[in-house]
Amino acid sequence: MEAFEPNLLAVVIAALVGFVVGGLWYSPMLLGNAWMKAAGVTEEQINAGNKAKIFGISLIALLIMSYCLEMFIGPSTASAANAWGMGAFYGFLTGFGWIFFAFVVVGLFELRSWAYMLINGGYWVVTMTLMGAILGGWN
Protein backbone atom coordinates (compact mmCIF):
# COMPACT_ATOMS: atom_id res chain seq x y z
CA MET A 1 0.00 0.00 0.00
CA GLU A 2 1.39 3.36 -1.03
CA ALA A 3 1.67 6.20 1.42
CA PHE A 4 -1.03 8.80 0.95
CA GLU A 5 -0.37 12.48 1.48
CA PRO A 6 -3.57 14.35 2.33
CA ASN A 7 -4.35 17.52 0.42
CA LEU A 8 -4.56 19.97 3.31
CA LEU A 9 -5.95 22.80 1.17
CA ALA A 10 -8.80 20.51 0.08
CA VAL A 11 -9.35 19.52 3.72
CA VAL A 12 -9.69 23.18 4.76
CA ILE A 13 -11.95 24.08 1.81
CA ALA A 14 -14.18 21.04 2.45
CA ALA A 15 -14.48 21.98 6.13
CA LEU A 16 -15.36 25.56 5.22
CA VAL A 17 -18.03 24.31 2.82
CA GLY A 18 -19.51 22.26 5.67
CA PHE A 19 -19.47 25.38 7.84
CA VAL A 20 -21.26 27.44 5.17
CA VAL A 21 -23.81 24.69 4.50
CA GLY A 22 -24.54 24.59 8.25
CA GLY A 23 -25.02 28.34 8.32
CA LEU A 24 -27.55 28.11 5.52
CA TRP A 25 -29.20 24.86 6.66
CA TYR A 26 -29.92 26.15 10.16
CA SER A 27 -30.83 29.69 9.07
CA PRO A 28 -34.42 30.98 9.16
CA MET A 29 -34.52 30.97 5.35
CA LEU A 30 -34.12 27.18 5.29
CA LEU A 31 -34.66 24.89 8.30
CA GLY A 32 -33.70 27.10 11.26
CA ASN A 33 -37.20 27.68 12.57
CA ALA A 34 -38.21 24.03 12.15
CA TRP A 35 -34.98 22.95 13.84
CA MET A 36 -35.51 25.29 16.81
CA LYS A 37 -39.01 23.90 17.29
CA ALA A 38 -37.83 20.28 16.96
CA ALA A 39 -34.85 20.89 19.28
CA GLY A 40 -37.00 22.73 21.82
CA VAL A 41 -34.84 25.85 21.87
CA THR A 42 -35.80 29.49 21.52
CA GLU A 43 -34.10 32.28 19.62
CA GLU A 44 -33.27 33.89 22.96
CA GLN A 45 -31.45 30.76 24.11
CA ILE A 46 -29.50 30.60 20.87
CA ASN A 47 -28.59 34.28 21.05
CA ALA A 48 -27.39 33.82 24.64
CA GLY A 49 -24.84 31.20 23.54
CA ASN A 50 -21.13 31.96 23.31
CA LYS A 51 -20.84 32.44 19.54
CA ALA A 52 -17.04 32.41 19.46
CA LYS A 53 -16.93 29.11 21.34
CA ILE A 54 -19.75 27.53 19.30
CA PHE A 55 -18.40 28.56 15.90
CA GLY A 56 -14.76 27.97 16.84
CA ILE A 57 -15.26 24.44 18.13
CA SER A 58 -17.62 23.66 15.25
CA LEU A 59 -14.98 24.71 12.73
CA ILE A 60 -12.32 22.64 14.48
CA ALA A 61 -14.68 19.64 14.49
CA LEU A 62 -15.37 20.10 10.76
CA LEU A 63 -11.64 20.29 10.07
CA ILE A 64 -11.07 17.03 11.94
CA MET A 65 -13.97 15.37 10.14
CA SER A 66 -12.73 16.63 6.78
CA TYR A 67 -9.22 15.36 7.47
CA CYS A 68 -10.52 11.94 8.52
CA LEU A 69 -12.75 11.74 5.43
CA GLU A 70 -9.73 12.70 3.29
CA MET A 71 -7.69 9.87 4.82
CA PHE A 72 -10.59 7.48 4.29
CA ILE A 73 -11.42 8.27 0.67
CA GLY A 74 -8.24 9.90 -0.62
CA PRO A 75 -6.25 6.80 -1.54
CA SER A 76 -9.21 5.19 -3.31
CA THR A 77 -9.99 8.24 -5.46
CA ALA A 78 -6.44 9.32 -6.26
CA SER A 79 -6.43 7.47 -9.59
CA ALA A 80 -10.18 7.18 -10.21
CA ALA A 81 -11.59 8.34 -13.54
CA ASN A 82 -14.54 10.04 -11.81
CA ALA A 83 -12.84 11.12 -8.60
CA TRP A 84 -15.43 13.84 -7.83
CA GLY A 85 -18.28 11.35 -8.15
CA MET A 86 -16.51 8.64 -6.20
CA GLY A 87 -15.64 11.11 -3.44
CA ALA A 88 -19.25 12.32 -3.32
CA PHE A 89 -20.43 8.70 -3.14
CA TYR A 90 -18.10 7.91 -0.23
CA GLY A 91 -19.10 11.15 1.47
CA PHE A 92 -22.78 10.25 1.01
CA LEU A 93 -22.23 6.78 2.47
CA THR A 94 -20.45 8.34 5.45
CA GLY A 95 -23.16 10.95 5.99
CA PHE A 96 -26.13 8.67 5.40
CA GLY A 97 -24.90 5.26 6.52
CA TRP A 98 -23.04 6.36 9.63
CA ILE A 99 -23.89 9.85 10.80
CA PHE A 100 -27.58 10.03 9.84
CA PHE A 101 -28.33 6.70 11.46
CA ALA A 102 -26.29 7.61 14.53
CA PHE A 103 -28.69 10.55 14.91
CA VAL A 104 -31.63 8.16 14.51
CA VAL A 105 -30.36 5.76 17.17
CA VAL A 106 -29.58 8.51 19.68
CA GLY A 107 -32.76 10.41 18.78
CA LEU A 108 -34.94 7.37 19.39
CA PHE A 109 -33.48 6.87 22.86
CA GLU A 110 -33.79 10.58 23.63
CA LEU A 111 -37.42 10.47 22.45
CA ARG A 112 -36.69 13.14 19.81
CA SER A 113 -39.05 13.82 16.93
CA TRP A 114 -38.44 12.55 13.43
CA ALA A 115 -38.24 16.19 12.34
CA TYR A 116 -35.27 16.67 14.66
CA MET A 117 -33.51 13.56 13.37
CA LEU A 118 -34.22 14.35 9.71
CA ILE A 119 -33.07 17.98 9.96
CA ASN A 120 -29.82 17.17 11.77
CA GLY A 121 -29.11 13.95 9.92
CA GLY A 122 -29.96 15.57 6.59
CA TYR A 123 -27.43 18.31 7.22
CA TRP A 124 -24.71 15.71 7.63
CA VAL A 125 -25.72 13.77 4.54
CA VAL A 126 -25.51 16.93 2.42
CA THR A 127 -22.33 18.17 4.10
CA MET A 128 -20.42 14.90 3.92
CA THR A 129 -21.46 14.38 0.29
CA LEU A 130 -20.13 17.82 -0.66
CA MET A 131 -17.00 17.35 1.43
CA GLY A 132 -16.40 13.97 -0.19
CA ALA A 133 -16.79 15.44 -3.68
CA ILE A 134 -14.27 18.17 -2.91
CA LEU A 135 -11.79 15.80 -1.30
CA GLY A 136 -12.14 13.08 -3.92
CA GLY A 137 -11.97 15.45 -6.86
CA TRP A 138 -8.95 17.30 -5.54
CA ASN A 139 -6.80 14.17 -5.28
The reply to whether 18 falls in a domain is yes
Pairwise CA distance, residues 51 & 25, whole Å: 17
Q: Is residue 37 part of a domain?
A: yes
pLDDT in tens, 88-108: 999 999 999 999 999 999 999
Number of domains in the chain: 1
Q: Is residue 2 part of a domain?
A: no
d(CA 84, CA 66): 15
- In the prediction, which pLDDT does 5 show? 87
Domain range for 116 is: 8-137
Please report, as a single letter, which amino acid is at residue 2.
E
pLDDT one-digit tens code per residue, 30-64: 999 999 999 999 999 999 999 999 999 999 999 99
Is position 60 within any domain? yes
Residue 19 lies in a domain: yes
116 within some domain: yes
b/e burial code for range 84-97 (CB count within 10 A of at least 16 → b): bebbbbbbbebbbe
Kindly give, in sequence order, each residue whose CB lies less than 8 Å from that of residue 126, ignoring residues fewer than 6 positions away: 21, 25, 95
Domain annotation covers residue 115 = yes
The model's confidence at residue 2, banded by pLDDT at 50, 70 and 90, is: low
